[in-house]
């Protein structure tokens, strides 16, 4: 019997074919220029010294031509360097670490829920089901006012939480960087749901006695993606203010926003949101380039607020009993997917290598011209980034992004472990994730980091950073006493 024709699809390692394709396309210019330069050098070497001298003597230059050419080169170089955007550096950052007295184990959370919602056992059962599948661990923290039965969310307790979280993060940042209050030129504070008068930014100015000419901004109502909006605002300001430093503070104050009603859609945030905050120091000073940890490469913001469903999918409102809370729509994941699609369509050309962009383009042309049923090509974002920091909004969000973007388990490890250890700390979660990667000793010089966050409105924002130097494993920070225990296995359901 004749031998069967071998199945080359199985025998050939297709992944190596793709690697070869990526190497060829991404280094196309090198492969093109090197042979041409080699041929030119060979031709020059074939000429004798006399021929080279005669060719040089045949060239005629007068003083006017030399001066005009020199001035033109100097003019073009000046225009180029003046129009080039300033480099923005992330000198360092600090994350707030809540004391153990604020921890809320599952048993404590459920006991409080049963006492607060004793007349509504179905709501208690609903919260238990959410907590079992949330991906949170036993060490997440809530502010002291929420530990009371019933909770006591007053303006005073909310301010106390804000002061503790924000001042602790800033103090730690100043200690690490040697930053003095007089060195701060720009201050941006973001907190979505707690916006007192005077503002939180004014509170920081008062505490640290900042300069009277400081550029101060307070952002509210922008949801979990407000941290990257603050980074974008600080970047724009640093582009027009030379030799300046910007302090960015990202937090969410839980005390006044703990829902005490029984509406299921409004009880969900109680199960996920926890205490947290971060302080970030940005600079455009040349002297900070050597000590800075990262350089900001891109910020891409997507806003879907023109669509009514997107606008109302995360909505602060009163329930029928007049109790205020955040209503999370059932359409949230679909809307987040659409926002993500728009965002990566914009950021893709900025970060993806040529090989991935060509594959995407060929697939798009094929679907338009030949067969609309062709499967859409999802670019391999693992080629663009070494690390990903996905907003730890919930287990479902992280899992969905991992599936849709075909990310590896290591790419989402920081997000899942941050959710487990700290819960959803809103805009500051990205910095806990960055800190996790550093604590694991994985951040090397030249590594690219993708931060992506979602927020009410509805918004999807991305930031891309490049590691400026290999980061030594820190001896302090939010993970200092537990990093050896991570990563941990997180079951699909934790039975309570």
Catalytic residues: 224, 303, 387, 391, 420, 424
| Euclidean distance between CA atoms 184 and 202, whole angstroms | 14
| Euclidean distance between CA atoms 202 and 217, whole angstroms | 9
For 134, list phi and psi in degrees, rounded to 5.
-75, -30
Contact 271, 130 (CB under 8 A): yes
Give 434's contacts (C-beta < 8 A, 6+ positions apart). 93, 389, 414, 449, 451
Contact 134, 271 (CB under 8 A): yes
Smallest CA-to-CA distance from 463 within 289, 339, 347 is with 347
The string of DSSP codes covering 11-79 is HS-HHHHHHHHHHHHHTHHHHHHHHHHHHHHHHHHHS-HHHHHHHHHH----HHHHHHHHHHHHHHHHH
Give 352's contacts (C-beta < 8 A, 6+ positions apart). 360, 379, 381, 383, 384
* Coil vs helix vs strand at 414: helix
| Euclidean distance between CA atoms 347 and 344, whole angstroms | 5
Q: Which long-range contacts (CB under 8 A, 24 or more apart) does 478-484 make?
A: 478/95, 478/96, 478/97, 478/421, 478/422, 478/432, 478/435, 479/421, 479/435, 479/436, 479/439, 480/439, 482/139, 482/421, 483/436, 483/439, 483/440
SS3 letters for 436-447?
A: HHHHCCCCCCCC
Query: Where does residue 223 fall: left (phi above 0), alpha (psi -120 to 50 degrees), or beta otherwise?
Result: left
Smallest CA-to-CA distance from 313 within 130, 459, 456 is with 456
């Amino acid at each position: 019997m004749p031998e069967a024709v071998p199945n080359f699809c199985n025998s050939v390692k297709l992944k190596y074919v793709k690697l070869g394709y990526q190497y060829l396309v991404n280094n196309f210019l090198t492969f093109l220029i090197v042979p041409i330069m080699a041929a030119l050098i060979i031709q020059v070497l074939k000429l004798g010294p006399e021929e080279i001298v005669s060719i040089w003597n045949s060239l005629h230059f007068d003083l006017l031509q030399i001066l005009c050419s020199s001035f033109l080169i100097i003019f073009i170089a000046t225009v180029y360097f003046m129009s080039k955007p300033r480099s923005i550096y992330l000198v360092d950052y600090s994350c707030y670490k809540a004391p153990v007295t604020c921890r809320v184990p599952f048993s404590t959370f459920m006991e409080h829920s049963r006492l607060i919602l004793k007349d509504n056992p179905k709501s208690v059962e609903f919260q238990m089901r959410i907590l079992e599948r949330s991906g949170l661990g036993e060490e997440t923290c809530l502010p002291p006012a929420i530990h009371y039965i019933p909770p006591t969310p007053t303006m005073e307790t909310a301010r106390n939480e804000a002061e503790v979280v924000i001042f602790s993060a800033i103090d730690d940042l100043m200690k690490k960087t040697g930053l003095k209050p007089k060195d701060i030129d720009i201050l941006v504070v973001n907190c979505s749901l707690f916006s007192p008068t005077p503002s939180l930014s004014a509170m920081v100015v008062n505490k640290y006695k900042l300069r009277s000419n400081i550029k101060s901004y307070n952002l509210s109502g922008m949801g979990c993606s407000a941290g990257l909006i603050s980074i974008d605002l600080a970047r724009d300001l640093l582009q027009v203010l030379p030799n300046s430093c910007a302090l960015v503070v990202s937090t969410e104050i839980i005390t006044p926003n703990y829902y005490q009603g029984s509406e299921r859609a409004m009880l969900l945030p109680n199960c996920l949101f926890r205490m947290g905050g971060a302080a970030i120091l940005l600079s455009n000073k040349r002297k900070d380039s050597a000590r800075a940890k990262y350089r900001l490469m891109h910020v891409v913001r997507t806003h879907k607020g023109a669509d009514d469903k997107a606008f109302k999918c995360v909505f602060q409102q009163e329930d029928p009993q007049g109790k205020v809370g955040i209503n999370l729509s059932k359409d949230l994941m679909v809307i987040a997917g659409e926002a993500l699609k728009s965002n990566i369509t914009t950021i893709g050309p900025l970060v993806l290598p040529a090989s991935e962009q060509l594959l995407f383009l060929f697939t798009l042309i094929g679907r338009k011209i030949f067969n609309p049923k062709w499967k859409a090509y999802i670019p391999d974002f693992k080629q663009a980034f070494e690390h990903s920091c996905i907003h730890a909004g919930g287990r479902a969000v992280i899992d969905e992004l991992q599936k849709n973007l075909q990310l590896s388990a290591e790419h989402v490890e920081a997000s899942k472990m941050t959710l487990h250890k700290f819960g959803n700390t809103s805009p500051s979660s990205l910095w806990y994730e960055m800190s996790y990667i550093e604590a694991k000793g994985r951040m090397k010089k030249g590594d690219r980091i993708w931060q992506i966050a979602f927020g009410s409105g509805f918004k999807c924002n991305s930031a891309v950073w490049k590691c400026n130097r290999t980061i030594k494993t820190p001896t302090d920070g939010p993970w200092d006493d537990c990093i050896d225990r991570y990563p941990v296995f997180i079951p699909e359901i934790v039975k309570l």
